[in-house]
Amino acid sequence: MKSVENFFWKIFRVFFPEQRKWASRVLITAGISMLSGPLWVPYVNAFLSRYVRIDIPDASTTGWVCLVLGLLCLIANEALDRWPFKQKMTAEDKEDKNTLYELFSQMHLPTYDWFFHHGKSSMVYIPALHYHHGVEGYIQATQFHLHDQKIRESVELFYQSCSRAFSYGFYFAETSNPNLQKFSNQHNVHTDPNAKAAHDDFLNAVYEAEGHLKDLYKAVKTKYPDFDMEATSKAARDEQRALSETTGF
């Protein structure tokens, strides 16, 4: 039923386009008709001259003018259709933008990139844990709310995937690099089914989290083109540095 309705509206728009598109269609049709005069004017002239003594004047010049004007109108209409008109933000949109600004101010995106990079090698990039806790605390607060369902779902899916990845800390051990932990040799993925399941789900969670963050980034930038992710990442990094200087960690 939906496909039939869509087909109907497509046909309707062909014969009844927007008012601004009528001009181009009329001009192009008139121009082509006039330019094709040599194909039909002699016959019509012969008929009219014989019976009513009327001659049709040469319309080729006018035809070219109409055709050119019609094509210009067509190009202008195409440009208008493709122009990204700025939609007026509603009160809910403004609330969501402020909420997202606070949320992304908990996230240093370059750190998450390193988390995904090392996670695909079965390692945990520890600095990302600080930002995960920041995101967790913010979205679990009672005042956190997003009106946009698509963005809200992206936030929730991203958080859930990161939580899964960080939930397998028991299976990881420290390395010579204080920022990295690796899947411990004490848990043999070839002989221990639980270790195998944990290892595989950790990898899946990392890949999923990366995909959800990309979806979230795209959704936010599409709805709010002026959203400054660099500023929010800087705010998150500055907050982490200030906390590190205060606590010594």
What are 76-110's pLDDT values in tens digits?
666 656 665 456 778 999 999 999 999 999 999 99
Q: pLDDT (tens digit, 9 = 90+) per residue, 112-126?
A: 999 999 999 999 999
The confidence score (pLDDT) of residue 15 equals 47
Give the confidence band of 25 by pLDDT, cuts at 50, 70, 90: low
The predicted-structure confidence for 143-152, as pLDDT tens digits, reads as follows: 899 999 999 9
pLDDT at 229 over 90: yes
CA 180-210-147 angle, to 5 degrees, is 125
Tokens matching residue 222: 């599409």
SS3 2: helix
The pLDDT, as a whole number, for residue 72 is 66
Other Cβ atoms less than 10 A from the Cβ of 182: the count is 16
Going by pLDDT thresholds of 50, 70 and 90, the confidence category of residue 33 is low
Looking at residue 21, its pLDDT comes to: 59
pLDDT in tens, 192-228: 999 999 999 999 999 999 999 999 999 999 999 999 9
SS3 183: strand
236 vs 124: CA distance, rounded Å: 20
> Rounded to an integer, what distance in angstroms lies between the CA atom of residue 139 and that of residue 102?
10
**pLDDT at residue 155, rounded to an integer:** 97
Range among 32-46, 47-61, 182-196 with highest mean pLDDT value: 182-196
Q: Which two tokens stand for residue 161?
A: 């995937």
Q: Give 221-244 as a DSSP string.
A: HHH-TT--HHHHHHHHHHHHHHHH
pLDDT above 60 (res 17): no
Structure tokens belonging to residue 203: 């990898």
Residue scoring higher pLDDT (193 or 13): 193
* pLDDT at residue 9 greater than cutoff 90: no
Q: What integer pLDDT is reported at residue 149 of this predicted model?
A: 94
195: Cβ contacts below 8 Å, ≥ 6 apart: 171, 187, 188, 189
CA distances from 183 to 61, 90, 114, 242 (A): 80, 48, 17, 31
- Inform me whether the pLDDT recorded for 191 exceeds 70: yes
- Helical (H) or strand (E) element with 210: helix 193-223
Q: What percent of the chain has pLDDT over 70?
A: 64
- Provide the strand spans (E) within 32-140: 123-125
